[in-house]
Structure 1
Amino acid sequence: MTKAAQNIVLSPSRDIPFNKLILSQSNVRRIKAGVSVEELAEDIARRGLLQSLNVRPVVDADGVETGTFEIPAGGRRFQALSLLVKQKRLAKTAPIPCIVRDAASEILAEDDSLAENMQRVALHPLDQFRAFQALREKGQGEEAIAAAFFVTPQIVKQRLKLASVAPALLEVYAEDGMTLEQLIAFTVNPDPGRQVQVWDAVKNSWNKEPYSIRRMLTETSVRASDRRAVFVGVDAYEAAGGVVLRDLFQGDDGGWLEDPALLDQLVAAKLQAETEALVSEGWKWIEVATDLPYGYSHGLRRLAGDPAPMSDEESAAHAALLAEYRGLEEEYSGQDEYPEEVDARLGQLEITMEALGQRPLIYDPAEIGRAGVFVTLDRDGSLAVYRGYVRPEDEPREETAVQDGDGADVTGQGGDVGFSNWKPSATFAGGTVITSRGQPIGADASDEEDDGALKPLPERLVMELTAHRTLALREAIGRSPDVALTLLLLKLVTDTFRTSSASGSCLEASVRHVYMSAQAPNLKDSVVAKLVDERHAAWGADLPLGDDAALWDYLTVLNHGSRLALLAHCLSFGI
């Protein structure tokens, strides 16, 4: 005979006046967690009590009910109700829905309190995302939803963004197939198709970290921190119809620009507009590029301009700043360190004086007519204008002393072979006109009177004399290491620092500058590029490049270590 199943009898519910309820000491919750009592009170005031209190009759020593009820489960709700009563928003005798446990029950009060707290199942985050979405679809705005659930509008936007991820990916997340951090990464791109495509690519990969997902979703976009975006401005890009992807969950430096082609068009248009102001300066050419390659100025001569003088107002302002700076230095010279406000003021004075000292350069108008300008973007997105570069083909032409086009030198008086008697001459349609002592040579002898004037030496004799001189120089250089090093340095310095191919050196040694045809866009901004450029500029500032004789004298008096350092620098350009 089977035993009949015992029917379950639930504890009855009833409304009990608030002033008949007290908080039980059997409540197991001691540590505050979750929503604050103040927020819970506001929620009860808005929507009422959603869950009844679990109470037990309080009995006296004889086991007789006193008419008061203790609350082992629902203490936070009771505290929220107490706050509303204290604020006079709820009457002291207001009926409170309660589940009343029999005072003689075998279930302990602590058992009820523990069960109510432990058997709760937290809402899955996806359910919360979808609930927010449902509220918005039914007409509630983000601000109203945020106020109702005591969160910020930004959090509501984030939850709604998560709910808008491709449904297939939300199901994967619901089945614990991806983490919340991975799901968050997919929100950076609103295209569901692209989201699914990226997930299919990474789901079986060892590398499916959120940052990798985010990178794949934005790989065809341009960061808002990119110098092109900074130059144009994100507002201008959006005004032109461009779309910006934004990450609501972490810093994104302003987001990603979805239309690189549009961005490049805007950059080109703005760069072109910036160059219009340069046209009036009279330069022969202007080259505009978003990014100039490393070594872009190789082979070009840089004009040496003079800083523009300060106006009277600027000079007076600079003098006043300098006087204040020196006064502060003198006043606090005896102290180990400056007071914070004094140190800050000195820094401001230095910056202001430096700005006044950075004067625009004034160039020779004749040089401007043969020189050009590079216009590009600096690494921080600002406009960069590099003025005063002369191409080799635009250099003033200097005639070389030649005879019959064979390149041999023509002698002066006494058979000396050299350049001391030669002067540049004009170039005519018939070829180069060569002069001696200011007079052209090479004319037919029958056209001139035979007055004992100098006649050119025969070509064969010139070649034989040149061979003797060359061999003598080889012998002399071979036993003079210091002269040999100076000669080598002269040639290498000329190859490295001069932009014109013309050179008066007799040495057949050279550095052929190697140009990197394949290079990353940021090569010229790299640390090593800056080191090379700084070293090159430092040497260039010291070397007397305009005169071979002065350059020879300079190289001769350099100490041994400096000569070797300069040699290494020049040779490095042939690597």
Structure 2
Amino acid sequence: MIMSAKSVEINPASGTETLIPLNKLKKSPNNARKTPHSEVAIEGYAASIAAKGILQNLVVEPELDGEGTATGFYLVTIGEGRRLAQLLRVKRKEIKKTEPIRCIIDTANDPHEISLDENVTRENMHPADQFEAFKKLADERGFGAEEIAARFGVTAHVVRQRLRLGAVSPKLMQVYREGELALEQLMAFAISDDQARQEAVYERLSYERDATTIRRLLTETHVAATDRRSRFVGLEAYIEAGGTILRDLFTEDRGGYLEDVALLDLLVTARLGREADALRAAEGWKWTEPHLDFPHAHGMRRAYPHPVELSAEDQAALQVVQTEFDRLTEQHQTAEELPDEVDARFGELENQIEQFEAKRQAYDPGDVARGGAFVILNHDGTIRVERGFIRPEDEKFPAEAGQEGDAVAADDEGGGDDQATRHGEGEEEENEEEGEEQKLSDTLIRDLTAHRTLGLRLNLSEQPDVAIVTVTHALAAQIFYVGANAHVVGIQPVKTDLTAHAVGIEDTPAGKAWSDRHANWAGQMPRDVAKLWEFVVELDHDSHMALFAHCTALTVNAVKLPLDLRPRALAAASRLAEAVALDMTGYWRPTVQSYFGRVTKAGILQAVREGVGEEAAERISGMKKVEMAAAAEQLLAATDWLPPLLRTAKTGDKVGLPDGAQGHDFCSQAAE
């Protein structure tokens, strides 16, 4: 029976099912639900009703005026959400405001009680049943995520999440039903659609059963989209080549995981090879080699560029560019914002100046003709080129070169390698003393030179300035030359390869600063080690001390290893840090990659407490590990927080420095 405006004045008996116009239904003041329905819930009701109609009748009672007379309207005791959904559909002009709504008249029960009963006496569907039911709609009825979303008033992304969860192994789904797996863990398993692999990972879990561990185990054979190889090749190129990407629908996966690692490596190798070929063609090196990582054990000598004068043509061109740059600078020095064309011109001029300045450093043509370069993939996905390496078989030995004792700068990272070419061990220059020595026995020569050595020790011990020269010469001869064997004091620099302990350290600003400083000194070294003594002696005091400091610094080793048996050395490292006023905030920043992603959640929260405060730590305490690490990085970005291992004890003065040394920065810069 459809009730018109006139017929509603006649009150039907309780329990009667009837159709009532939508505009005759009102919200009941006796409804137990006082908190309004959310917009999302109403949208869901509206979508469901549009697709399937109202599946459950509304329960209503007649509205009475103060005298107990029916007003012609009905109060909705059960089904207010459905009424609001239909009103939303009226607003969207999907139905008319007089749309008949199937209702049950109930005047026998207390309206407040049955409203409460409706909202309390029921059990929600288990999430596992919901996930599988959504998947059944997709599998059996062929509905896509968008269509299912439209029929249930949710987003397509939510549907995809439920479909992915519905595809989890039935064995794991049952474990979830039984309460042995949390939803967060089930979501982690859903990153892969390989049910056999899901079950295998589940069997591998021990006490570490958190979602992060599950995701890590399921993706351990894949490559993250944030990996340097992925960034270098690019996701589009990888997909075009036939690669597939595994996406995590439940966390911010930052691009997903590349599944075809072999294809990715092939693309990386091919592109690095093309870059290496282009470099060889452009710069004329004898060889170029592409490498994923720097081959530290290459066993080659390294040549560095040396200062050269610009040609007259380049000098004139540089002067023209510099003059225009200075003129523009003077014209616009008071401008708050540069016009676009002026800003663009500044950029062009700066690039030209940089190109001319780069020509002031050049490799020896002979080194280029027999040397080569490594084309390496940086840890940030960019290309890094290391030039000037000369293979042992390509060396120009003294006999070929027509000179003796020639030793050239060795690579900072490979100069101490046992495979390095021993250069500079040729015959010593003949002098007048050699003729005399040939007349003496070996025993007498040893005797006399022992006395001479003792005399040198006594005199050197009384002349600290000469001692500094001698030590500097010994360190430089071994650091910058391969096998020269030209040092007279028995001091050997022991260098620790930091790249073996901290991945990507050479790509950090501090690593690049050290590399540039070393290259600067290497470029100043005389090509013949026999001339090194004069070079060191002729340096001014500040430059001499800077070279001494650089060579000494290269041997510093404060790396703490597991079961380290050097407690006194590490204690000395702390004293050294105090002496040089080490402030690691200038060299290291806490990020997800450098710290927060590698400590526990408790460690993250402790860092935030120390660096920001208890309130900030409390705000992120409920986050998942990945989100918490990212939040901590943002919170601490503007602070100077450091982990305890990187902190330097605060002291009033620099510890262990001689009087008058405080405040001098003569060791900070290499000589120009």
Q: Say yes or no: TM over 0.5.
A: yes
d(CA) in 2 for partners of 1:406, 1:248: 67
Secondary structure of residue in 2 paired with 1:369? helix
Can you give the 5+ residue segments of structure 2 that lack an aligned partner in the other structure? Answer: 1-12, 406-424, 560-672
Equivalent position of 2:532 in the other structure: 548
Displacement of 1:227: 1.6
Equivalent position of 2:365 in the other structure: 365
Equivalent position of 1:256 in the other structure: 257
Equivalent position of 1:164 in the other structure: 167
d(CA) in 1 for partners of 2:315, 2:144: 60
d(CA) in 2 for partners of 1:551, 1:406: 21
Encode CA deviations 1:276-305: one digit per residue, 9 max, x unaligned.
334445433333321014575874232437
Matched, 1:384 2:404: no
Q: Where do 1:277-316 residues align within 5 Å?
A: 277-280=278-281, 281-294=283-296, 299-304=301-306
Cα distance 1:241–1:55, how it changes in 2: closer, same or farther (>3 A)? same
d(CA) in 2 for partners of 1:182, 1:109: 43
Displacement of 1:200: 1.9
Displacement of 1:217: 0.7
2:375·2:384 contact (CA, 8 Å) conserved in 1? yes
Which of 417, 432, 441 is 2:433 aligned to? 417
Equivalent position of 1:54 in the other structure: 59
Displacement of 1:100: 0.9
Equivalent position of 2:149 in the other structure: 146
d(CA) in 2 for partners of 1:86, 1:393: 85
Secondary structure of residue in 2 paired with 1:208? coil
Displacement of 1:378: 1.8
Displacement of 1:37: 4.0
d(CA) in 1 for partners of 2:497, 2:99: 88
Equivalent position of 1:195 in the other structure: 198
Encode CA deviations 1:212-241: one digit per residue, 9 max, x unaligned.
110011112222222222223333333444
Cα distance 1:548–1:24, how it changes in 2: closer, same or farther (>3 A)? closer
Secondary structure of residue in 2 paired with 1:286? strand
Equivalent position of 1:29 in the other structure: 33
Equivalent position of 2:541 in the other structure: 557
Which of 172, 177, 185 is 1:174 aligned to? 177
In the alignment of these two chains, the number of paired residues is 509
Displacement of 1:194: 0.9
The one-letter amino acid paired with 1:460 is: K
Secondary structure of residue in 2 paired with 1:16? strand
Secondary structure of residue in 1 paired with 2:306? coil
Identity of aligned residues (%): 33
Which of 111, 126, 144 is 2:128 aligned to? 126
Higher helix share: 2
Can you give the 5+ residue segments of structure 1 that lack an aligned partner in the other structure? Answer: 1-8, 333-338, 419-455
Cα distance 1:152–1:342, how it changes in 2: closer, same or farther (>3 A)? farther
Farther off after superposition, 110-119 or 467-476: 467-476
Equivalent position of 2:247 in the other structure: 246
Displacement of 1:195: 0.5
Matched, 1:478 2:458: yes
d(CA) in 1 for partners of 2:527, 2:255: 48
Cα distance 1:211–1:474, how it changes in 2: closer, same or farther (>3 A)? same
Cα distance 1:552–1:465, how it changes in 2: closer, same or farther (>3 A)? farther
d(CA) in 2 for partners of 1:74, 1:95: 15
d(CA) in 2 for partners of 1:492, 1:483: 14
d(CA) in 1 for partners of 2:338, 2:236: 39
1:224·1:257 contact (CA, 8 Å) conserved in 2? yes
Farther off after superposition, 127-136 or 312-321: 312-321
Equivalent position of 1:436 in the other structure: none
1:224·1:255 contact (CA, 8 Å) conserved in 2? yes
Encode CA deviations 1:314-336: one digit per residue, 9 max, x unaligned.
986665455444544x316xxxx
Equivalent position of 1:69 in the other structure: 74
The one-letter amino acid paired with 1:154 is: H
Matched, 1:488 2:490: no
Q: Where do 1:462-541 residues align within 5 Å?
A: 468=448, 471-472=451-452, 474-480=454-460, 481=463, 482-498=465-481, 500-502=482-484, 504-511=486-493, 522=504, 524-525=506-507, 532-533=514-515, 536-537=518-519, 539-540=521-522
Equivalent position of 2:419 in the other structure: none
2:90·2:97 contact (CA, 8 Å) conserved in 1? yes
d(CA) in 1 for partners of 2:115, 2:279: 81
d(CA) in 1 for partners of 2:499, 2:50: 73
Q: Where do 1:77-116 residues align within 5 Å?
A: 77-85=82-90, 89-91=94-96, 93-102=98-107, 105=108, 107-116=109-118
2:145·2:160 contact (CA, 8 Å) conserved in 1? yes
Structure with larger Rg: 1
Displacement of 1:342: 6.0
Cα distance 1:351–1:296, how it changes in 2: closer, same or farther (>3 A)? farther
Equivalent position of 2:438 in the other structure: 459
The one-letter amino acid paired with 2:430 is: V
- State TM-score, norm by structure 2: 0.65
Farther off after superposition, 484-493 or 516-525: 516-525
Secondary structure of residue in 2 paired with 1:302? coil
The one-letter amino acid paired with 1:11 is: G
